[in-house]
Amino acid sequence: MRLDALVRSGATADLDWRLDQLAAVRDALVRGEVELTRALRADLGKPVVETTLFEIGVVVSEIDDVRRNLARWVRADAVRAGAAGWPGRAAVERCPVGVVLVVAPWNYPIYLCVLPAVSALAAGNCVVVKPSERAPASGAVLARLLGDASHAVVVEGGPEVVHDALEAGVDHVLFTGSAAAGRAVAEAAGRRLVPVTLELGGKCPAIVDASAHLPSAARRIAWGKFANAGQTCVAPDYVLVEESVADRFTSELCSALVAFYGSDAQSSPDYGRVVDTRELDRITALLEGHGGTVVTGGRTDRADRYLEPTVVRQPSLSSRLMQEEIFGPVLPVVGVAGTESARAVVASLPDPLAVYVFSRDSAAIARLRDGTRSGGFFVNVATSQQGIAGLAMGGVGASGSGAYRGRAGIETLSRHRSVYTRPVWPDLAVHHPPYGWAKSRLLRRLLHLPGRPVPRGSGRPPTGRS
């Protein structure tokens, strides 16, 4: 493999090589912004501003942050050698793992292709990127833009690309997508002993208590949920709101949707589309038999891949709507007795990528932070944490394993190698035989062991004679 040979030559470990690759990726994105915007419009009906914010701007900011800090992040960590290692020097250095395969989903075809590749290149690796075949226009533009700009090779195609890359001998797989597909990739990689980082998803809850500023909470949740037509892995999947303010919150939520997209979201230039009719059919099926009330939305146009922003009040917790990840523009709002009841609902479902809490009660926030398990925990925001360069992205349990972005990406996609160097002189031989009582006593002192030396010969192996 050409990329594998490059890594093994040691060329990619050079700091300047890494910085040059990152600069090339940045230049390609900026140069191709118009093309990428058109492609994303074709694949997902993505609004121009969403492309600027979520697909290109975030990645450019991440590259700038990584380039500023990379020399410090990749520096070897000195380790105290201690008495046993004196007079040598010890350290742990970060080496490239080799060739990293990035398997990206369709919902953010640029962001989730390029951002993991940034972490991999920063760690000194070469990269094979497989865009999703369900966003073909974006994948084609990305392949053309990157081209020879960096050692991040874009390979278009379906699942066979992953199989071929594993057969060719990649050294790490970073997968973003559904739990079912992630499980299949992990099993295939496991048969070849290839380590895998999984970024999956799950039902991310938003918890709103009575102390929250309801208009602000409603606007932020509506923006976080309905951007990209709800097709965001870290978007709030459902809202648990304290019963005493549930009606007011729901009213504020509906008002926010009208303020964002008007009375007819289908005609709004700021509202996206579902990726394809297969996905549209899956989401609309979740609206059947949920046991709640559709407060607003629910209209569809299959030819336009359009699903109106939809709010469902008080669906059954056992319904598919509350048991499966929605990944679309439908938001259940469930009234609960308080934060403890909300915590119990979250605990009954698989661990999510993110928990969002809207509250001005510091004690309640602390209880929820300590009482929930998730990849991230965020207060009075919904998905906007994705814009913070260097903030690690990763899941736990069913929502994934491992993390990337910023320094976390360097740690995940580097091989930690121990290095110990000892000078020729002085050539101390205190740990060489013959040992004797004096050496044994000195060694025990150096190792801070109490008591007297074990009598010489007491550890002699048996002779075999009876």
Q: What is the identity of the amino acid at 357?
A: V
Do the strands 89-96 and 77-79 form a parallel or antiparallel pair, or are they unpaired?
antiparallel
**390/242 Cα distance (integer angstroms):** 33
Q: Which residue has the tokens 């909300």?
A: 342
**299/306 Cα distance (integer angstroms):** 8
Which two tokens mark 416?
């930690």
Contact criterion met (CB below 8 Å) for 212 and 246 = no
Length of the chain: 466
Sign of CA dihedral 409, 170, 113, 180: negative
Q: Which residue has the tokens 């392949």?
A: 143
Q: Which residue has the tokens 């990528």?
A: 353
Of 95, 187, 7, 20, nearest to 414 by C-alpha is 95
**357/339 Cα distance (integer angstroms):** 10
**331/202 Cα distance (integer angstroms):** 14
- Among residues 62, 199, 308, 325, the one annotated as catalytic is 199
- Among residues 95, 113, 233, 325, the one annotated as catalytic is 233
Which two tokens mark 322?
């509350």
**369/85 Cα distance (integer angstroms):** 43
Residues 6+ apart with CB under 8 A from 161: 130, 155
Residue 439: Cβ within 10 Å count: 17
233 classed as catalytic: yes
Residue 445: Cβ within 10 Å count: 10
Q: Which residue has the tokens 């690690």?
A: 392
Residue 2: Cβ within 10 Å count: 9
**239/314 Cα distance (integer angstroms):** 10
| Cα separation of the two ends of the chain | 61
Residue 19: exposed, middle, or buried by beta-carbon count in 10 A (0-12, 13-18, 19+)?
A: middle
Contact criterion met (CB below 8 Å) for 322 and 343 = no
Catalytic positions? 199, 233
